Amino acid sequence: MVSCYLMLTRRQTIKKDGSESITPRYVVTATAGYYKPLQEIKNAKNEIVMYYQRNDKCNPNSTAETRLQCKGSVNFSSIYTINLTHGEQIIGYGEPPQSQELKGGKNNPFFENRNDGYLFIISPDLNTIEILIVPKSRQLIMGYAAQLEDGKLNEALNKLRQSAK
């Protein structure tokens, strides 16, 4: 069911003026499986870096509260949350950008995978974000998110976590 698992860990970002950035920066620290579009968003250090942003600051028309943005200002996905119980992990879902071209005429590296779905598990302290990529599940991803929240995917998730490097 899941083709790729990513563990993102929050890293402190210091700007050129010495102050800390208010936009949380995450680096992929563990993966299991393969997802071709990720190769195009790696930086010069061969890292996948994403930024967790509030949509009201970037896109006031979005119904999602947050999103993950990656190299080249490419929106990886909006994050639609299904549970916001204080002190518990946050479960969310999303999908790749749907347009063939992004702002500025750039090719969308996720376009060929636009029918995939994403599940997100975010720690309450926002220090880690786990991403599960489910191929060809864009139309079903809300159901998978409900199963994740209900614990029905715990066994598969634990196997992915153990195999991640």
The pLDDT assigned to 157 comes to 95
- Tell me the percentage of the chain whose pLDDT exceeds 70: 93
Residue at 165 is within a domain: no
Q: Kindly state the average pLDDT of the residues 13-21.
A: 79
Number of domains forming the structure of the chain: 1
In tens, the pLDDT along 106-161 reads 899 999 999 999 999 999 999 999 999 999 999 999 999 999 999 999 999 999 99
Residue 85 covered by a domain: yes
Residues forming a β-bridge with 147: none
**Residue 164 located in a structural domain:** no
The range of the structural domain enclosing residue 67 comes to 4-153
pLDDT-derived band of residue 70, with 50, 70 and 90 as boundaries?
very high
- Give the count of alpha carbons within 13 A of 111, CB side only: 8
Alpha-carbon span 78 to 71, nearest angstrom: 15
26, 9 in Cβ contact below 8 A? yes
- Tell me what the pLDDT averaged over the chain comes to: 90
Q: What b-and-e string marks burial along 101-118, b requiring 16 or more CB atoms within 10 Å of the CB?
A: ebeeeeebbbeebeebbb
Asked if 101 contacts 107 with a C-beta cutoff of 8 angstroms, the reply is yes
Confidence of residue 102 (pLDDT cuts 50, 70, 90): confident
The verdict on residue 84 lying in a domain is yes
In a domain, 89, yes or no: yes
- In angstroms, the CA 117 to CA 145 distance is 10
Domain-located, residue 162: no
What value does the mean pLDDT take over residues 43-56? 89
Q: What is the average pLDDT across 17-46?
A: 92
Give domain status of residue 17, yes or no: yes
The reported pLDDT for the residue numbered 58 is 55
Is 161 inside any structural domain? Answer: no
